[in-house]
Amino acid sequence: MARRHNISPNKRGSVNPLPKSEAKRIQEIENRLEAISKENNTIHLRNY
């Protein structure tokens, strides 16, 4: 698939990896979820 779209298989694109430490990993997931929730609420409120 990567070859067809001329994408290097060694690249991740815009994906940011999670930290290795479990505590930091959980905190990062919570932060990302919070950011996405705020964005979804903003989009939802604009549609009304």
Q: Where are the domains of the chain?
A: 21-48
- Helix, strand, coil tally for the chain in percent (to 5): 50, 0, 50
Task: Return the structure tokens found at 10.
Answer: 């060694």
Q: What are phi and psi of 19, to 5 degrees?
A: -65, 155
Report pTM. 0.60
pLDDT tens string 4-45: 777 777 777 777 888 899 999 999 999 999 999 999 999 888
Confidence at residue 21, expressed as pLDDT on a 0 to 100 scale? 94
For residues 45 and 24, give the distance between their C-alpha atoms in angstroms, rounded to a whole number.
31
Q: What is the pLDDT of residue 10?
A: 77
